[in-house]
Structures are given as structure tokens and as C-alpha cells.
Chain A
Amino acid sequence: MKIKPSIDFFEKKARELRATCVQLAHDGREGHLNGALSSVDLLIALYYSWMNIDCVDVKNEKRDRFIFSKGHACTSLYAALADRNFFPKKLLLEYAKNNSPLPSHPCIHALPALEASSGSLGHGLGMAAGMAYGLKLDGKAARVVALLSDGECNEGSIWEAAMFGAAKKLDNVLAIVDYNGVQSVGYTDELTGGASFEEKFRAFGWSAVTINGHNIPEIIDTLEKFPFELGKPSAIIARTRAGAGISFMENQVLWHYRVPSKEDVDSALKELEAKPIY
């Protein structure tokens, strides 16, 4: 299932997925674009290059497990899943509608291809660690990835999971922190004291690196080095920009919530030089 395409292909895909996020947010009347747009390049690297995925047998035992822990930002996840044929693209029209398989926060009852529901923050890494422990006990080689928001790392439960992962030597777990710097009503560094994520994960016994979360080749190169150290869980601190790729949205708290108007969508698509995939 792996694709070995050019950088141009990845960058074009990233622009299409960003266009899809903006369109989804407009059509579904649900915001959360900041975190969706900041996560797009990470999802491209994961879903188009590094992860073992199977869009037909979605519960294939050998698949890599992926938990999109920052559930509110799920337009980017849905766009990637649709584009990778986990479901028909026209299903995106149902985003955030009544009885939709694509609710505004991902639900495994609505979309069984998911590993876990999300929307309540702080749970993805702990569950990933539990899955990783279960996989190790079974001698299975699958890897478990949790994509976290930086704001989500305010939750104490993330650090319980970090301790557990190190104590149990879960080198089959990868945490990716989408460090876009912007939370729901404030800035991450102001709310956490600004201590380094990389140093925090290291202090908890993880092997951690900081990278540019919008440089797709750099993300893929880093993923290919997983596990960074045998016997330790790995963390990638991905420096990103909230609202990345759309100049009038970047790095503003406002676009955590705001639903884009028709005019906003038009300007965004023009700047991206891309169309939504549905």
C-alpha cells in the first residue's frame, strides 16, 4: 500500500486536503480549523508514506494502529481517510450532519475503521500505550501512533501515559505532538510555562526529537528512524503553525472556533490553488 511519490505529489496532496478541511468546516458549520490545518502534513507523511494501512481489510492484524487523539480537528483525518479510500469521498458531504458516519468528533460506532473515538482530550496516548502493551504480549509487530495536540498535553493523563510507556519499555509506541502553539482560548507556552516538550518527554524516559511539522520529507525521514531507541517509546515534537497554509488564519486563536464563510472559503482555495476532494 505504500506510495513512493515525489515531493510535488505530497505537496499537492497537502494543498488538496487543506482545501477539503476548509470546505468541510464551512459545509458542516463546525470550526476547529487551526488544529486541522496544522496536522495535514503529518497525516500526509503517515497515511501516504510511513504507516502500514489497509483500506479494504481495515482491521488487518498487521496494520499500524493510529489514534487521532485531537478529535476536534478531525476534518483533516476525514479528508486523509477519504483520499486513501477508507470510505467514498462523497461521504464527506455528510460531515457533522444528523446520523453521520463522520460526526464532528470521531466515533468508532459511526466509523468502525477508527481505532478509538476521540473528542475528549488526553486519552489517545494512554490507550495507545495499552494497545502497545497488548501487542507486545501477543508478539505482534504492529506499531501504535497517537497524534496529540499541544493543548491536549495540558492533561495530566498524558504524563501518566508517558510514565507507563517508559516503564513498560514500549518501543512500539510513537507520540506525535502537533505543536501549533495555539489552544482554545490561549497560547500553549503561556499556559504551560513554556518548558520544552522534547525535554519533558526525555525526562519521562522517552526518545524525543523536534522537527518541522510542515516539511514532509523531514517528517518521513524522522518516521523512518522509528523506534528512535530500542526499549524506549518515541516522541516527535512537530513544530507547526495553527491554521497553516492559509495566511489569514495562521497563528490566531480565533480560528480555533470560527466557521469559515463562503468568502473565507473562496479566499482560502484561491491561496491554496487547490480544490476540495469532494
Chain B
Amino acid sequence: MRKAFAETLTKIAIDNSRLAFVTGDLGFQVFDDFVKKCGPRYINAGVAEAQMIYTAAGMALEGWQTIAYSIASFATARPFEQIRFCVDYPKLPVVLVGAGRGYTYATSGVSHHAADDIALMSALPNMTVVIPGDPGEIEQLLPQLVALKAPGYFTVGRFGEPRFEAEEPATLGKARRIRSGSKIAVISTGEIINEVLAAADVLRKESITPHIYQMHTVKPLDTHALDNLSGEVRAFLIVDEHLPNGGLWSAIASWSVLSGQRARLIRLGPPDRYALGNMQRDDLREKLEYDRTAIINKCREIWKTL
């Protein structure tokens, strides 16, 4: 995904000479091609996330469009006040990019976990929050988000994530239908979609065929798609690699209460605890029961009751 991000970024910057990129001293060799082609529009602010945001904001005040880049935990929680006061409040065209959200850096410890980033960024009134699931979604959604010329939060995984097939292209602000099915809608955001799709392959052999939707845009939430689905399915299964408060689950639960819809709402995702223990991401997902096995079991269980 990082390769797709660097390539897409460079492509956008070649077309848009007002776009500049600010990093908080991260992305070794990832942006070499950008530097080669766009030179001084690559700015390393140092290990200084506050200044990274100030640079992005100050340049935006002078008519630039900027992308600020760091590891997701350092991009969001660390300079939160700067993002709120200097980017979101004045509504500047700054896209903040968090690399390795969720438990991408599971083995690096709590310092590097970003399972609260969607909550933090969604709390900001002018922010559009986009969590792509594969290189294809990065290529499709980053240009759309940049074109908004408004505050945005965008995430990027690591290297080598698989690409998935989908029935629809990715459109900013729209729930993306990946596979049509019936009775259950499995909804996720970001790269946990890979676990969902692996589970769906197993379930299909048992003739258990839920709808699979990717909610790459968590804010604004596509409530129109949810309204439509709620008339059709009996259960929503939300797979969310985020703490229980303020992630995709929270957003959909809020929609559910306000809409008065009747389908069951079930969550798979980590509990409200720091993920201690230095575990591999796959092992952590298994232990916290939101990996493919947990998804398969939960779908089987729901399917039987419908």
C-alpha cells in the first residue's frame, strides 16, 4: 500500500504544481521518486509533528495544498491540537496521512498502535476520514480526497498487501459493494477487509453468502446505503480494527439508533484495552476474536438464526 501511496502521490503532484508533501521524518526511501520529480515540494519537518502540521497549515494559508505524513499514532494523537486549531477550524486544504493505522505495527508496542485514530479524526467537524483497504483503494480515493481541498485524514498500510476484486469502484463518501449476498451485511473499513474476504471464501462453500461492504469513508458516513441495506438484511456484522469508542462501529451504532432500523447489530473488534504483550498482528486479531476464523464463526451463528 505504501508503494501505491507514493506512486499516486507523485502522480497527483506532477499534475498539480500547488501540491506539497510534508513528512515528520518518516518514509525512508519511500518518496525518492517524489523528491526526484518534485524537489522542494518535499519537506522534512523533522521529528516534530506539531511543526509538520504548522508547515502544512501555513503553506495552505499561502495557497498551497499540502499532505502531511507520519505513522498513524504520531500523525493524529500527538499533534491533535495543531490539527484541530490550525487545519480543521480554519478549514484548510490539508490531507493528513497516517501510515500503519490499527495494529499494523502490532509488535512495536502501544506507542505505535493507532486504534483510536478514527475516533480522534472523526471528532473534528470539518474532517473527511478515509481508510482504504488495498492499493487499489489508495489509487482511487487519494485523488478524490485531495480534490476536496478541505481537511482530510487518510491511512496507508504497509508493503505488499493484496489487491481485492470488487463489484463497484471506490467513490469517496459511498459505501463500496464488494460482493453482493443476502441476509447479512458484513461491513468493515481499512485492510481488515482482507480477513472478511478470506472468511467469505470459506463461507461460500457452505452457501453462507453475506453482502460484503467496505466503508472506506467513515466520515461522512454513507447513511443512505445503510438505510437501503437495513430494509433488506436481518443483521449487520461490523468488523472494526479500532477501539469500541469512536470507530466505524460507533458511527454505525449511532446511525442505527437514530434511524430506528431493526436489523441486528453485531461487532467484532478489539476491546477497550491497550494491546499489551508484543504480539504479531495476526495472533492479536485471533486472540481478540476478529480474525477470519472469528468472522466465519459469527456468520455461521447468525445465519442459523435467520
- A binding-site residues for B, Cβ under 8 Å: 108-109, 115-117, 120, 122-123, 126-135, 137-138, 156-157, 160-161, 163-164, 167-168
Question: Which 10 pairs between the two chains have the least Cβ-Cβ distance?
Answer: A130-B58, A126-B54, A134-B62, A134-B59, A160-B51, A160-B48, A131-B58, A157-B50, A130-B55, A127-B58
B119 at the interface (CB under 8 A from A): no
- One of B27-35, B79-87, B247-255, B296-304 at the interface: B79-87
Q: Which residues of B contact A120 (CB under 8 A)?
A: 81, 85
A157 CA / B57 CA spacing, docked (Å): 14
A133 CA / B55 CA spacing, docked (Å): 8
CB-nearest residue of chain B relative to A114? B90
B41 touches A130 (CB 8 A): no
A164 touches B82 (CB 8 A): no
Q: Say yes or no: A115-B61 contact (C-beta < 8 A), given A120-B81, A123-B82.
A: yes
| Nearest chain A CB to B48 CB, angstrom units | 4
Q: Which residues of B contact A137 (CB under 8 A)?
A: 20, 40-41, 59, 64
B residues 168-198 near A (Cβ < 8 Å) are none
| Nearest chain B CB to A237 CB, angstrom units | 21
- Against A, the Cβ 8 Å flags (1 = close, 0 = not) of B37-62 are 00011010110101101111111111
Q: Which residues of B contact A129 (CB under 8 A)?
A: 51, 54-55, 58
- Counted as pairs of residues, one from A and one from B, with CB atoms less than 8 Å apart, the total is 91
A108 touches B90 (CB 8 A): yes
- B binding-site residues for A, Cβ under 8 Å: 20, 40-41, 43, 45-46, 48, 50-51, 53-64, 81-82, 85-86, 89-90
Q: Which residues of A contact B63 (CB under 8 A)?
A: 134, 138
At the interface, is chain A mostly helix, strand, loop or mixed?
Answer: helix
Q: Which residues of B contact A156 (CB under 8 A)?
A: 50
A161 touches B61 (CB 8 A): no
Q: Which residues of B contact A168 (CB under 8 A)?
A: 43
Excluding A126-B53, A131-B58, 18 further A-B contacts by CB distance (< 8 Å) are A109-B90, A115-B61, A123-B85, A126-B50, A126-B55, A127-B57, A127-B58, A130-B62, A131-B59, A132-B58, A133-B59, A134-B63, A137-B59, A138-B62, A157-B51, A157-B82, A164-B45, A164-B55
A131 CA / B62 CA spacing, docked (Å): 6
CB-nearest residue of chain B relative to A136? B40
